[in-house]
Amino acid sequence: MNIIFVSSRFTKARTLCVDRCQTGVLLAGGLMLFILMSGLFGYLILFQFGGLQVPLVQKLLISSQQTETAKNREAMQQRLSAMAIKVGEMQAQVMRLEALGERVAKVAGIKKEEINFDRKPGRGGMFKPGESVSLGDFEGELSKLARVLDDRTDHLAVLDAMLSRESVRRAALPTASPISIGFFSSNYGWRLDPFTGQRAMHEGVDFVAEPGTPIKAAAGGIVIYSDYHPGYGNMLEVDHGNGLISRYGHASKRLVKEGDVVLRGQKIGEVGSTGRSTGPHLHFEVLLNGTPQNPTRYLNLPG
């Protein structure tokens, strides 16, 4: 490639010979110079003229800032929406915890005024300088609290199931007095037989009461015997499960039949003096796997 220089200073034109390699270098250098000049020009427009409040440049800057602000606002809204959903889930968990807590307190025999779930717990302490909580920190604490709520709910549900099973088991124990009005006339154990005068084992307790006094089931269960017995007279037996049976003798009336389901405290008969008896009273027994037990051990238990 030949480049010809023409000038008034020279009497004739001068020619410069440039090969292909040199031509490429010149073109590349020119392109780089153009790019640098364009960048410098853009910098001057955006930052130099921007300070002079050129309307077009100012609009470009404001538009860019608004776009960035809108993106930040959208991201913030998404995080707030996620937190709102989490708070809603936690509120549902708290309601479930309150219901479980009240039920557990009831089963455990805790008075409502002793544990008020609606009352805000007291907190306090000396003032210590702190620092503001960031949104990220708050999200972390919220997630941690949600995990704790899940854990406490599971534990309380297990406790509720255990207490409920214990409550059912205790409800099946013959701990309720079968007579509301009356008094002991003969305890469990060895005594002198009122008919023979000989020392004999008394396998229950006797309650003296007026004829017709209601006889009540000492616990819930199924009636397995309701008939006349030569010794016990009109006799009733209630199966409470787990090998426990309560027996009621000398009744004047039997008000339930075999197969009936009875509830704790339900009237099942009336006091009388049928069978081998010297007067109106209720003979009450408790058997465990067929073996007579001291009924007072059950009657003295909290029901």
Residue 247 sits in a domain whose CATH number is: 2.70.70.10
Is residue 125 assigned to a domain?
no
Give the 3-state secondary structure of residue 2. Answer: strand
Q: Is residue 55 part of a domain?
A: no
In this model, does residue 295 exceed pLDDT 90?
Answer: yes
Higher pLDDT, 181 or 92: 181
199/163 same-domain check: no
The answer to whether residue 121 is domain-embedded is: no
- Given a cut of 80, whether residue 38 has pLDDT beyond it is no
| pLDDT, mean of residues 119-139 | 68
Most confident of 62-66, 133-137, 209-213: 209-213
Give the residue-averaged pLDDT of 125-139.
70
Range 60-71 average pLDDT: 71
Cβ-count burial 180-219 (b if 16+ within 10 Å, e if not): eebeeeeebeeeeeeeeeeeeebbbbbbbbeeebbbbbbb
The boundaries of the domain holding residue 152 are 77-115+134-171
- Integer Cα distance of 260 and 262 in angstroms: 6
Cα 108 from Cα 154, distance rounded (Å): 18
Shared-domain flag, residues 187 and 288: yes
pLDDT of residue 228: 97
Q: Is residue 243 part of a domain?
A: yes
Worst-scoring range by mean pLDDT, 47-51, 175-179, 211-215, 263-267?
A: 47-51
pLDDT of residue 93: 75
Residues 189 and 289 both lie in one domain: yes
What percentage of the chain exceeds 70 in pLDDT? 69
Please give the average per-residue pLDDT across 223-252, as a whole number: 96
CA distances, 298 to each of 77, 222, 285, 293 (Å): 64, 19, 11, 9
Does some domain include residue 240? yes
Given pLDDT bands bounded at 50, 70 and 90, which one contains residue 52?
very low
**Is the pLDDT assigned to residue 69 strictly greater than 70?**
yes
Kindly state whether residue 129 falls inside one of the protein's structural domains: no
Write the CA distances from 218 to 2, 262, 287, integer angstroms.
126, 10, 13
Whether residue 139 is found in the same domain as residue 244: no
Whether 166 and 199 map to the same domain: the answer is no
Q: Where are the alpha helices (DSSP H) in 15-110?
A: 20-43, 49-51, 55-108
pLDDT at 175 over 50: yes
Query: Residue 141: pLDDT band by 50, 70, 90 thresholds?
Result: confident
Check pLDDT > 70 for residue 33.
yes
Q: pTM, whole model, 2 decimals?
A: 0.53
**What pLDDT is recorded for position 137?**
75
* Choice between 28 and 140, residue whose per-residue pLDDT is larger: 140
237 within 8 A of 216, measured Cβ to Cβ:
no
CA gap 181, 259 in Å, rounded: 28
Question: What average pLDDT score do residues 135-150 get?
Answer: 78
Shared domain check, 102 and 19: no
Is the separation of the CB atoms in 86 and 94 below 8 Å? no
Say what the pLDDT of residue 15 is: 58
Same domain, 247 and 162: no
Residues 269 and 203 in one domain: yes
Based on the fold, state whether residues 230 and 158 are members of the same structural domain: no
Q: CA 254, CA 16: separation in Å to the nearest integer?
A: 137
C-beta neighbour count of 79 within 10 angstroms: 14
Please name every residue paired with 261 in a beta bridge, in sequence order, or none if there are none. Answer: 222
| Average pLDDT of the residues in 127-140 | 71
Residue 87 belongs to some domain of the structure: yes
Question: How much is the average pLDDT of 101-123?
Answer: 66
Asked if residue 94 and residue 33 are part of one domain, the reply reads no
Query: Would you place residue 41 in the very low, low, confident or very high pLDDT band (cuts 50, 70, 90)?
Result: low
Whether 60 maps to a domain, the answer reads no
Greatest mean pLDDT among 14-28, 66-80, 116-130, 247-261 lies in: 247-261
Q: Considering the chain, what is the average pLDDT of its residues?
A: 79
Helices and strands, counts by H and E, the chain: 5, 14
pLDDT value at residue 72:
78
Say if residue 82 is in the same domain as residue 37: no
pLDDT tops 90 at residue 272: yes
How many structural domains comprise the chain? 3
Write down the pLDDT at residue 138.
73
Is the same domain home to 164 and 187? no
Of 25 and 86, which is predicted with more confidence? 86
